[in-house]
Structure 1
Amino acid sequence: MTQLSRLISILTLLKSKRVLTATELSDKFEVSIRTIYRDIQKLIEAGVPVVTLEGRGYTLMDGYTVAPVQFTEKEANALITAQHLVSKSNDSSFVLDFEEALTKIKSVFRSSVLEKSEMLNKKIHVFGRRSENISSNALSEIQLAATNFNYIEINYRKLDNSEPSFRKVEPYMLLYSDNKWILMAWCHLRKDYRAFRVDRILHFKILPEKFEDREFDPKAYYRANPYTHRKDS
């Protein structure tokens, strides 16, 4: 968890009117008490009125509230439209995570905007068929691995080969082409960058081991390999 995510979580807990000790926060987020002290100081510097109750812990000053995020009708409509497009994705993890995120976002819609968004939801239909009836359930985990520089081990089946091969890869980029998610990664088997269709990853494991960023340059790579997204590594 990043510091920003932890700060937001701490603020959410404090908003629930609970009194929390540094030890409780340290145990919950699995960081040192010194780190919690720094987090609390960051919140105070950002203008959050955190109050220290001697011998009890931290709480928020009475009457403190965070202004709710307000979405315009057009912004809400954009999210509803995105929901319909996402629902056509062949990766179930991505669809589920988006649906859960949208549910949370819709909870802060004004009632008038929510009513209009529900109306729009019935007025949008996205048509299209998949060229292959293959689904996946790896995209959300792969996204986390890419942003946290974690190695991934995969069993991968190529289009022209029924026997899967074992690969250890460094995930760098995800692209969407022809209704398919493609993972661009450094393959340790091939000693080069390769494109992997996510729906052809049979099994995968995110490793705790981190890799050094090779600073993959997509523009330079695609100039040299213009048809990469059509290949099956």
Structure 2
Amino acid sequence: MPKGDRLPRLLKLIHTIQNHPGLSSEELARECGIGSRQIFRDLRVLDYAGVPLYNDNGYRLAENFLLQDISFSLDEALSLLYGLKLVERQKALFPVKRVKERIMALLPRGLRDEIENLDGRVDVVAGFSADYSMKGDLFRNLNLAMRESKRIELEYYCFSRDDSNVRTIDPYHLIFKDGFWYLVGLCHWRKEQRQFRVDRIRKLRVLPEKFVPPPEILAASPLGAAWGIELGEVFQFTIRFWGESARFVRETQFHPEQQLWEEAGGTLRFTAKGCNLAQVARWVLTFGGEAEVLKPQSLRQMVVRQLAAGLERYSREANGCSLTSVGQGGMVE
């Protein structure tokens, strides 16, 4: 058995003795799923470590010794493992395999068998995402800086300007959304709170200077009313949906503050709050001709310009092509 499994194995042995005092070495070996020679080695390790262990018609622990139970129910174990499946998609960023093995080692054999049976039949298919496989040190430094409230200096690639610069940041939050990790913090260059895609951070250095995180920043949701990740002035928008898009929107929560109104003829009116016109416009455009912006007018005009530009682009190649011949793609039921 790998050395990394020793700690969970010993913890399981302590829990077994604590919960079932009086078991023999053979019974302990069977409960812990190890051999008879290994059980004696582990018992000796516990004795050397100062665990008050004694043998009186079976192995027992002193009455004043108590190790808090860290066993899981089936639902709790599945919640952990399904969460780990999401993390596994981060391309070697976190030691998921080792964590999973340690969790499994803490489970009773029967529960472990149930989990292993389900584990191979459940998968998490993530959408597009960045490659974080080479960002392990960067994340460790970010976590260190947030934990100790230290400023960081980073070289950041700005997508909108297509260039890089160096900034000093007070790091407040790390957020994973739609396949990407974001750092939220106070940018001393911009003198305001900003969001930074972690995969666009070229270099990062933890500075010795400390900062005091504003209590209202830490207490509130870092995204607030944001639609997506970009922040700005909050506005309310209303969209009307038709057909299959109306049915899809009806069964889906896109925003915690969204509101729906049924309309005559089967259309659906959708209202929510956003902070960035462009992000909301991109979402509306994914529904094609089955969505219409009712308000604000600025959002409606932005969508109209995007649709007009697309129509002009495609019309150059549309000669002789019947638009009615293009069928809809498959939809998830």
TM-score relative to the length of structure 1? 0.62
**What residue number does 1:130 align with?**
128
Where in structure 2 are the equivalents of 1:157-172 lying within 5 Å?
157-172=157-172
1:76 aligns with 2:98: no
Deviations along 1:29-69, one digit per CA (max 9) or x if unpaired, are xxxxxxxxxxxxxxxxxxxxxxxxxxxxxx56554452542
Contact 2:130-2:199 within 8 A present in 1 as well: no
In 2, the alpha carbon distance for the partners of 1:74 and 1:221 equals 30
**What residue number does 2:100 align with?**
102
In 2, the alpha carbon distance for the partners of 1:229 and 1:77 equals 29
Contact 1:172-1:216 within 8 A present in 2 as well: no
Task: Give the letter for the 1:156 counterpart.
Answer: Y
In 2, the alpha carbon distance for the partners of 1:221 and 1:81 equals 25
**What residue number does 1:212 align with?**
212
SS in 2 for 1:83: helix
In 1, the alpha carbon distance for the partners of 2:70 and 2:221 equals 40
Q: CA RMSD in A?
A: 3.1
Deviations along 1:143-190, one digit per CA (max 9) or x if unpaired, are 332122121111110113342211111111122222111111011111
In 2, the alpha carbon distance for the partners of 1:166 and 1:175 equals 22
Structure 1 residue 103 displacement after superposition: 3.1
**What residue number does 1:154 align with?**
154
Contact 1:80-1:120 within 8 A present in 2 as well: no
In 1, the alpha carbon distance for the partners of 2:228 and 2:76 equals 35
TM-score relative to the length of structure 2? 0.45
Contact 1:155-1:204 within 8 A present in 2 as well: yes
In 2, the alpha carbon distance for the partners of 1:145 and 1:106 equals 32
Contact 1:150-1:211 within 8 A present in 2 as well: yes
Contact 2:169-2:186 within 8 A present in 1 as well: yes
In 2, the alpha carbon distance for the partners of 1:220 and 1:78 equals 23
| Structure of higher RCO (CA pairs closer than 8 Å, 6+ residues apart) | 1
Contact 2:131-2:199 within 8 A present in 1 as well: no
Cα 1:102–1:206 change in 2 (3 A) is farther
Unaligned runs of 5+ in 1: 1-14, 20-58
SS in 2 for 1:217: helix
Task: Give the letter for the 1:80 counterpart.
Answer: L
Where in structure 2 are the equivalents of 1:162-201 lying within 5 Å?
162-201=162-201
**What residue number does 1:120 align with?**
118
Task: Give the letter for the 1:116 counterpart.
Answer: E
Cα 1:73–1:227 change in 2 (3 A) is closer
Cα 1:192–1:67 change in 2 (3 A) is closer
In 2, the alpha carbon distance for the partners of 1:150 and 1:101 equals 28
Question: Matched residue pairs, number?
Answer: 175
Cα 1:123–1:189 change in 2 (3 A) is same
Task: Give the letter for the 1:211 counterpart.
Answer: F
Structure 1 residue 216 displacement after superposition: 4.5
Cα 1:172–1:99 change in 2 (3 A) is farther
> Percent identical across equivalent pairs?
23
In 1, the alpha carbon distance for the partners of 2:74 and 2:51 equals 33
Unaligned runs of 5+ in 2: 1-44, 54-60, 232-333
Structure 1 residue 140 displacement after superposition: 3.9
**What residue number does 2:320 align with?**
none
Instruction: Give the greater-gyration-radius structure (CA).
Output: 2
Structure 1 residue 79 displacement after superposition: 1.2
Structure 1 residue 214 displacement after superposition: 2.5
In 1, the alpha carbon distance for the partners of 2:104 and 2:150 equals 32
Cα 1:221–1:105 change in 2 (3 A) is closer
Contact 2:126-2:179 within 8 A present in 1 as well: no
